Amino acid sequence: MDTILVTGGAGFIGSNFVRYWLREEPGRLVNLDKLTYAGNLDSLADVLDDPRHVFVQGDICDGPMVRQLLEEFRPWAIVNFAAESHVDRSIDGPAEFVQTNVVGTFRLLEAARDYWSGLSADEKERFRFLHVSTDEVYGSLGPTGYFTEETPYAPNSPYSASKAAADHFARAYHHTYGLPVLVTNCSNNYGPYQFPEKLIPLMILNAVEGKPLPVYGDGQNIRDWLYVEDHCRALRLVLKKAKPGSEYNIGGNCERTNLQVVHAICEIVDRLRPDLPHRPCSQLITFVQDRPGHDRRYAIDASKIRRELGWEPQETFETGLERTVRWYLENTTWVERVTSGKYRRERLGLGRLK
């Protein structure tokens, strides 16, 4: 059966990708996830019973286990989402970021190389290793200019440094061993199932609850936002159409300051929840001490993927944000189980689901 192996498929982007792939493609998807605090089986509730979705709890750092999975399921592609992904956590404790993002990606590449070398010539030709990365590897921009695929790497946080190291290993495995590697660097994602430590879900949930909306520094840091399903659509195109060894930047051409994002969320929450006693929600905005080394501006030039693969985002920031706020307002059980920590307590002791 046509199979792909996805790592980190219980996280934010991974769970959206799993759902999108199963909807668009007929084959089987094996989902390997360690279920850290960021991994949540609730985010896969509607696809856990799908016979084409095989969930395996495991660590990408466990090379022999990954190698065994590859042998058992014989995928034609690996899509690597598994990572520690939160910049603030990387500042407080970088070791886990080195372990999963660098060592984990290396072990995955090693297992893939070993597996790939035993494939037939046709299978080798078709095989892809897609490493999903971030625009943060490029460092910070001034008020003008864009990150292109040629921009030199200049990571500034332990998170982006660990992702940069992983990207370099992925690239080197193509250059040195010929492994058909693809690397994508995407701007900030937002959408359903994002863990509420990240800016957009945090602000939505705090706005609903009447809690302060903490904005770093002067709120003028700029990020380039992309709706998560548009990212998933881009990844599917890269997997199916890109030449081995290619790198693609992915972004929505949608720069907003953090303060603009928070005001936009407040405006939607005010409109959708006229019953809230603390409206307008913007009065909850509180400026807090800036993150150390906070990058000022990220902006992606996505013209290569648009030109070569015909990718176009389908959501604007306004439509995507409205969908996202509505999703958080409607999915109160998911939110309650994440914020109370119940989603973690109930899954301890879980092994392979199928």
Query: For ligand NAD, which is the closer residue by CB, 178 or 196?
Result: 196
Query: For ligand NAD, which is the closer residue by CB, 206 or 230?
Result: 230
Alpha-carbon span 126 to 77, nearest angstrom? 8
Q: Determine, following the binding rule CB under 6 A, whether residue 105 of this chain makes contact with ligand NAD.
A: no
Instruction: Please confirm whether the linkage preceding 26 is cis (ω < 30° from 0).
Output: no
Residue sitting closest to ligand NAD (CB): 11
Q: Are 31 and 10 in contact (CB under 8 A)?
A: yes
Q: Determine, following the binding rule CB under 6 A, whether residue 181 of this chain makes contact with ligand NAD.
A: no
Least distance CB 352 / ligand NAD (angstroms): 14
Find the part of the chain contacting ligand NAD (CB under 6 A) among 7-15, 64-72, 270-278, 305-313.
7-15
Q: Determine, following the binding rule CB under 6 A, whether residue 161 of this chain makes contact with ligand NAD.
A: no
Query: For ligand NAD, which is the closer residue by CB, 82 or 207?
Result: 82
**Among positions 18, 19, 39, 206, the unique one binding ligand NAD when judged by CB under 6 A:** 39
- Judging by beta carbons within 10 Å of its beta carbon (0-12, 13-18, 19+), is residue 81 exposed, middle or buried? buried
Amino acid at 184: T
Q: Determine, following the binding rule CB under 6 A, whether residue 302 of this chain makes contact with ligand NAD.
A: no
Alpha-carbon span 242 to 151, nearest angstrom? 20
Alpha-carbon span 230 to 195, nearest angstrom? 19
> Which residues are part of the catalytic machinery?
135-136, 159
Least distance CB 120 / ligand NAD (angstroms): 29
- Judging by beta carbons within 10 Å of its beta carbon (0-12, 13-18, 19+), is residue 272 exposed, middle or buried? middle
Q: Determine, following the binding rule CB under 6 A, whether residue 295 of this chain makes contact with ligand NAD.
A: no
Q: Determine, following the binding rule CB under 6 A, whether residue 221 of this chain makes contact with ligand NAD.
A: no
Residues between 69 and 98 that touch ligand NAD (CB under 6 A):
81-83, 85
Mask 55-74, x = binds ligand NAD (CB under 6 A)?
----xxx-------------
217: left (phi over 0), alpha (psi -120 to 50) or beta: left
In a 13 Å sphere around the CA of 347, the CA atoms on its Cβ side amount to: 24
Q: Are 155 and 164 in contact (CB under 8 A)?
A: yes
Contacting positions for ligand NAD (CB under 6 A): 7-8, 10-14, 33-36, 38-39, 59-61, 81-83, 85, 100, 104, 132-134, 163, 186, 188-189, 195
